[in-house]
Amino acid sequence: MHTVNADTLGSEGVWFDPVWRVRVHLTALERELLATWWVRRLAFVSHAGAASITTTQTYTRLEHSLGTLALVAHFAPDDHAARAAALLHDVGHLPFSHTLEGIAGLDHHTIGHARIDELGSVLNHHGIAAERVIAIDAGEVPSPLRSAPGCMKLDHLDSFVRSGQAHGRTVIQPPEILASCRLVDGGVDTDAETAAELTRLVIAEARAQRAAPNVVPVAVLRGLVLHALKEPAAAIDSAALATMTDDELWSALLCAPSTREQARTFRRNPGAWQLLKHDDETADPETEPLEHLIARGYLSLPTISGAPTTNSDVQALERDLPARYRIVRVAA
């Protein structure tokens, strides 16, 4: 009997997703993957990245990965390679997810594929080649995880709805959204009402990504890591950074002489850093502003009865990219 709903160990052979309210009967492979470090590590990496410091979006990459697995199991229960890819698609993320992407040339897709390859013996034991899982993750072969360009895919469906729940944005509850959706060539297809809800969540997520509670902590944390990497006898190097969890990174930043003070202050008072406004005179004149660039957004929409959809707000958000910001520490 299943007694623990959100059991990320799969100890009873079942994952019950608390957002989608989908019960997944885990395969032997999925239970074994849940016991590996590269998957367990995701329980210590925040899905929202540095925004987890300043918002209520504090759930983990593991929760999102299990949510994506729940969606694949719902739409394609017998596609075991896609189910494995859903569980493994985020194993390459750095601490704080997208926050540190690109630092020291680190790319979570490249790292993730190397880690999937490391898990090849586990996958092969269950009759699935690591190369097949990597090809699914890269979108090189048709699968429930690959959609046509510009169409919402299951990975992003889980992200938008799970984030919407964390921020209180959802109007239609996730089980109702799921009941109105189908998968067409890997893309999310639905009715007009549900498409409007998903579009609203996409827009809200994009605007939140460009707002101070996301931009400021991302910029500050990136700045701290860049300083730590340059420190003589650095407490952090690029190889170590790629393997760290959020808490391990904080520990390193709090120990490194060049970042200790700012890391401690930022944890205690993130409001001491703000977006720089035109002619703003509150900035500490001795502090160099941080620069932050948002180069891309996740703005793909669902189709309605097979037809592509457009939205003027989404188009405006696309036109505003790349978006550049300056962040300063406010003078005491």
Distance between CA atoms of 248 and 256, rounded to whole angstroms? 12
| Token digits of residue 41 | 């590590």
Between CA 230 and CA 323 the distance in angstroms is 27
Q: Token pair for residue 297?
A: 């957004």
What is the CA angle 270-249-101, rounded to 5?
A: 85
Per-residue confidence (pLDDT) for residue 313, from 0 to 100 = 97
pLDDT attached to residue 7: 87
Tokens of 14: 């079942």
Beta-ladder partners of 184: 187
Task: Give the CA dihedral 313, 314, 319, 323, nearest 10 degrees.
Answer: 100
- pLDDT beneath 50, residues of the chain: 1, 279
Residues 194 and 37: their CA atoms lie apart, in Å, by 37
Interval 83-114: pLDDT, tens: 999 999 999 999 999 999 999 999 999 999 99
Given this model, what pLDDT does residue 288 score?
80
Query: What's this model's pTM, rounded to 2 decimal places?
Result: 0.94
pLDDT of residue 319: 96
pLDDT of residue 16: 95
> What pLDDT score was predicted for residue 1?
45
> From CA 185, how far away is CA 109, in angstroms rounded?
22
The Cα–Cα gap between 28 and 322 comes to: 44
Position 286 scores a pLDDT of 56
pLDDT at 311: 97
